[in-house]
Amino acid sequence: MNFDMFNIKDKIPFKEDIFKGKVVFITGGSGTICKKQAEYLVILGCNASIVGRNPEKTVRAALEISKIRKDSKIVACPNTDVRNIESLEAAVNKTVKELGKIDFVICGAAGNFIADFNHLSSNAFKSVVSIDLLGSFNTVKSCFQELKKNKGSIIMVSSTLHYYGVPFQIHVSAAKAGVDALSKSLAVELGPLGIRVNAIAPGTIAATEGFTRLARASPQELTTKIPLQRLGRVQDVALATVFLFSEAASYITGTVVVVDGGAWQTSNVQVTNSNVYPVQLKQKLLENNPKL
């Protein structure tokens, strides 16, 4: 299937209509990564509810996503703060009223900024934990009745920051570690009801607001330390999302799918001279005199 007509350059290696009749509820759905997740699900037949705080951004994103498939139904739920369970409940009610149900939930809303420990106030720390972690809990809580009815599936958007120590990101690392724990415990508790819960941990994703604001090295410098030798794309996260919601993943729950080109595995080579990794390493691997 070729989606060039939607300005989506990739071929999506999934069958058209695999999500026909399904409804996804996406917090952070107007953001860079989650909007692409929404687009891919909608292309493949899903209807969607786009949830966010900023009215203009949320409504605009919903409108743009609605143009991706002719017969799609997309609802915008602006003025929804994931820290506030009542506002999420209103968004769920609106979604169910307009789209009939909720099958899939993406907990993608997140806050981030750069701050060292000395400049990270208690309130700032609390704010990020409240959006990322409490917000994910609130989102699942408010969608629970629908997920139960429809034997739904949940994806939490995590990160790889907490796999190793990352300076200036104490708040997000702590929040995302909590998100992983929440995801795994929910998988165990909700599995007997037929509800699957997984997390996706994106690495450094190019062309995102997060990357623009937070990256401390140039794309070229970062790329050399990533085994697959390129930055992540929003499409990479969207494809993992399609897989996890699809029948192909029907026996997968409680996992974290890391979408980072292998980057976090190289945390010990981040400090290595790039001449050694990957340049010399690649030369050695390509030599035609292997030792058997």
Ligand X SMILES: NC(=O)c1ccc[n+]([C@@H]2O[C@H](COP(=O)([O-])OP(=O)(O)OC[C@H]3O[C@@H](n4cnc5c(N)ncnc54)[C@H](OP(=O)(O)O)[C@@H]3O)[C@@H](O)[C@H]2O)c1
Strands 196-202 and 256-259 turn out to be parallel
Interface residue with ligand X among 26, 111, 183, 257 (CB under 6 A) is 111
The residue (of 29 and 278) whose beta carbon lies closer to ligand X is: 29
Q: Which residue from 45, 210, 227, 254 is in contact with ligand X, where contact means CB under 6 A?
A: 210
Q: How many residues interact with ligand X (rule CB under 6 A)? A: 31
Judged by beta carbon, residue 47 or residue 208, the one nearer ligand X is 208
Min dist. Cβ of residue 158 to ligand X (A):
7
Binding of residue 202 to ligand X (CB under 6 A): yes
What are the residues facing 106 on neighbouring strands?
26, 155
Smallest distance from the beta carbon of 215 to ligand X, in angstroms? Answer: 8
Binding pattern to ligand X, positions 228-257, x when CB under 6 A?
------------------------------
The residues annotated with a catalytic role in the active site are 158, 176
- Name beta bridge partners: 25: 49, 105
Among 209, 230, 248, 275, binds ligand X (CB under 6 A): 209
In the complex, least distance from residue 108 CB atom to ligand X, rounded to whole angstroms: 5
Q: 30 to 89, contacts with ligand X by CB under 6 A?
A: 30-34, 52-54, 57-58, 80-83
As measured in angstroms, the least distance from the Cβ of 209 to ligand X is 4
Q: How far apart are CA 124 and CA 174, in angstroms?
A: 13
Tell me which of 68, 131, 242, 263 binds ligand X, using CB under 6 A: 131
Does residue number 143 form part of the binding site for ligand X (CB under 6 A)?
A: no
By CB under 6 A, residue 211 contacts ligand X: yes
Q: What number of other Cβ atoms are within 10 A of residue 168's Cβ?
A: 16
- Whole-number minimum distance, CB 280 to ligand X, in Å? 29
Sign of the alpha-carbon dihedral angle for 23, 25, 28, 34: negative
109 binds ligand X (CB under 6 A): yes
Whole-angstrom Cα distance, residue 51 to residue 28?
Answer: 6
Tell me the closest approach of the beta carbon of residue 2 to ligand X, in angstroms.
25
Which of 207, 276 has the CB closer to ligand X? Answer: 207
**By CB under 6 A, is residue 263 in contact with ligand X?**
no
Exposed/middle/buried for residue 38 (C-beta within 10 Å: 0-12, 13-18, 19+): buried
Complex with ligand X: residue 76 or 99, whichever CB lies closer: 76
Q: Which residue sits closest to ligand X, CB atoms considered? A: 31
Interface contacts to ligand X, rule CB under 6 A: 27-28, 30-34, 52-54, 57-58, 80-83, 108-111, 131, 135, 157, 159, 202, 204-205, 208-211
